[in-house]
Chains A and B, each alone.
Chain A
Amino acid sequence: MWEGIVTGFATALTLSNLGWVLFGCASGTIIGMLPGLGPITAIALMIPVSYSLEPAGGLIMMAGVYYGAVFGGSTSSILLNAPGVASTVATSFDGYPMARAGLGGRALAIAAYASFSGGTLGAIALMMFAGFLASLALQFQSPEYSLLLILALSSVVVFAEAQARLPSLITLLLGLMLGTIGTDQLAGIPRFTFGRVDLADGLNFVLVVMATFALAEALRMTLQKDQPPPTAVTASQLKLSWQEGAPLLPVIGRSSVLGFLIGVLPGAGATLASFFAYDIEKRIGNGSREAGVAAPEAANNAASTGSFVPLLTLGIPGSGTTAVLLGVMLSYGLQPGPRLLVDQPEIFWGIIASMYVGNVILLALNLPLIPQLAKLLRLPSRLLIPLIVAFSLIGVYLTTLNLFDLYLMLGLAVGALALRWHNYPLAPLLLGFILSGLLEENVRRTLFLAESGWLELARPVTLVLMALLLIVWLSPLRGRSTENPKP
């Protein structure tokens, strides 16, 4: 293994590859900050550039684009409450209130440090446990996924404040219902489309997230009186003292481990990881806003790294982003899987080494930019609101190129404003929407399997997850709910 690591660093640390990872991080950050453009789009847009490079350089640059885009998404999530990708939604729960309270620079700095730590810890775990985890991930089939998803959805309701449980359940169900719009994945039957072709593919994620978070936030700001702009962010605010940073270390540590383990599972890895990490932190941690930013950021970056496990060791992409990366690897004539480590160790270890290098470069590149980015928050609301409205409209139009979706977004935003005004949390709605398709697919497959006998489903992982689910469902009876602020 050590020989491989040395080979990897020798590949990643050549001057040209360092240049490409720097270019990748910078491009990824800028693209990720644009409305509606997430890591998948960023990588897809950089494919033409990667063709002009040799495989190691191209893949190392792509890894940089990936991290940059994830961090860029967190920036718009914290500053504008406009998460461009599902995995940064949980960051906005505490990040955006921090930004509105004049702590935008601190929130961005914590996000940068947590992303760096999560990504680096994930890379170490990838190096050490890749083979073992890949074989474990293969144990996860539809019954296990169904239980994991039900566990995630249950947690968001059960761990809410006692008086917020019913509203959380209502918005969660609304999200699940929104997710059923479109053609049924298994039977190919149109549902809730009312004959409209625009709805046949279902609602786009960017549309729902921009409507419920960004546009609804702009409308909510319109309802409120003008508030004085937050104070300017200085470079000194980006430094965390030991007293401030120490409580975040365990948060980052446990969120990274959790994120990496969930990231290894194919599916909605980074999204589930960030929501789980946020919920767990609110339940067992000190509940501070800083921890609420650090946990999802560390988890989603570790999960992004974890998603490379099935790609590199089994040749199975675990997420949309790694599916695009698989396409890039295949276009280079590389076949990811067990033979990659044997046949082309410099590629395998080069990608892993570039994860460390990419994380360091990303941190060095983005910390100086934070004070400039945070200036956006000093705009008075009469200028910030038009900016957020424009940002949301461009984001959705750019993603779907469909005018109907813009009307739909406006309608959903008005509905989201009404829900929010009456203290219905919107995070469960978004989680329900994101996981709806995956849940239905797996539940239906599980029940098909169960037709040949329920005992078929009694596997060790299933039983553990069922026990966990039971504990979660019974926990409110023991009065163990904790404070869980949600937007």
Chain B
Amino acid sequence: MIPSGHQLLKLLILGLGAGYLYTAWHIPMDPWTAEELVNARTLPLIYGGLLVTAVLMSWKRTAPSEAIEAGPMLRVAGVVILTLGFLLALQFLNLWLGLAGLLTALALWLGERRLVPITALVITVPMVGWVGIELLLNLHLPD
């Protein structure tokens, strides 16, 4: 049987909780700290344990979430991929130039075809950011 989206999410949270518990148990500590009643591991172990218990308790609960169609899912995937592309490009491009590229790509991907709004968005946002942040507030962002 294929698990539903909600079951899959709960499975993911359960895995996250188990992984967190395992990592919490292996937090490196010096001998003095390890002997303390409450140390760096204590609260993480409590949080992880409670999370696993809560997810198991909610296992049979079904959430009234809407089904997602393939089209909108593809749109979200596109937005995430374009943003990832922008982050990769930031290693070579200036932030404001990269941002202009990202704004253009996102607007086109989401269906905006009018030249004037796209141009206004692409010029205004990076320009206001550059003038306001770098020139007026004198905050220099790394290239």
Residues on A facing B (Cβ under 8 Å): 31, 34, 45, 163, 166-167, 169-170, 173-174, 176-177, 180, 184, 186-187, 189-192, 218-219, 222-224, 380-383, 385-387, 389-390, 393-394, 397-398, 401, 403, 406-407, 410, 414, 417-419, 421-424, 439-440, 443-444, 447-448, 451
Chain A residues whose CB sits within 8 angstroms of the CB of B9 once the complex forms:
418-419, 422
- On whether the beta carbons of A410 and B68 are closer than 8 Å, the reply is no
- The minimal Cβ–Cβ distance linking B52 to chain A, given in whole angstroms, is 9
Known A187-B33, A423-B64; contact A170-B110, beta-carbon cutoff 8 A? no
What residue in chain B is nearest A423 (Cβ atoms)?
B63
A-B contact number at CB 8 A: 155
Instruction: Give every chain B residue within 8 A of A176 (Cβ-Cβ).
Output: 43, 47
Task: Please name 13 pairs of A and B residues whose Cβ atoms are closer than 8 Å in the assembled complex, sorted by A.
Answer: A34-B132, A166-B58, A169-B54, A174-B13, A174-B51, A176-B43, A176-B47, A219-B79, A222-B76, A382-B112, A398-B139, A440-B43, A448-B38
Chain A neighbourhood of B20, CB < 8 A? 177, 192
Q: Is the CB of B6 within 8 A of A422?
A: yes
Q: Are A191 and B40 in contact (CB under 8 A)?
A: yes
Interface residues of B in 22-68 (CB under 8 A from A): 23-24, 27-29, 33, 37-40, 42-44, 47-48, 50-51, 54-55, 57-58, 61, 63-66, 68
Residue of A whose beta carbon sits closest to that of B41: A191
CB distance from B4 to the nearest CB of A (A): 10
Query: Residues of B within 8 Å of A, CB-based: how many?
Result: 65
A148–B89 Cα distance when bound, in Å, is 46
Q: How far is the CB of B93 from chain A (nearest CB, A)?
A: 12
Contact A390 B137 (CB under 8 A): no
Quick one: closest B residue to A448, CB to CB?
Answer: B38
Question: Are A189 and B28 interface neighbours, CB within 8 A?
Answer: yes
A residues less than 8 Å from B27 (CB atoms): 189, 191
Contact A170 to B38, CB < 8 A, known contacts A383-B117, A410-B87, A422-B65:
no
Judged by a CB distance under 8 angstroms, whether B142 is at the interface is yes
B80: A residues at CB distance < 8 A: 219, 410, 414
Given known contacts A389-B83, A403-B90, A448-B38, A222 and B72 CB-to-CB distance under 8 angstroms: yes
Contacts of B61 in A (CB 8 A): 163, 166
Quick check: is B97 within 8 A (CB to CB) of the other chain?
no
Judging by beta carbons under 8 Å apart, are A393 and B83 in contact? Answer: yes
Whether, in the assembled complex, B106 has its beta carbon less than 8 Å from a beta carbon of chain A, the answer is yes
B5 at the interface (CB under 8 A from A): yes
Q: Which B residues are CB-close (under 8 A) to A170? A: 13, 51, 54-55, 58
Question: Which of B43, B75, B110, B142 touches A443 (beta carbons < 8 Å)?
Answer: B43
Cβ-defined partner of A34 (8 Å) among B12, B29, B111, B133: B133
> B135: CB under 8 A from chain A?
no
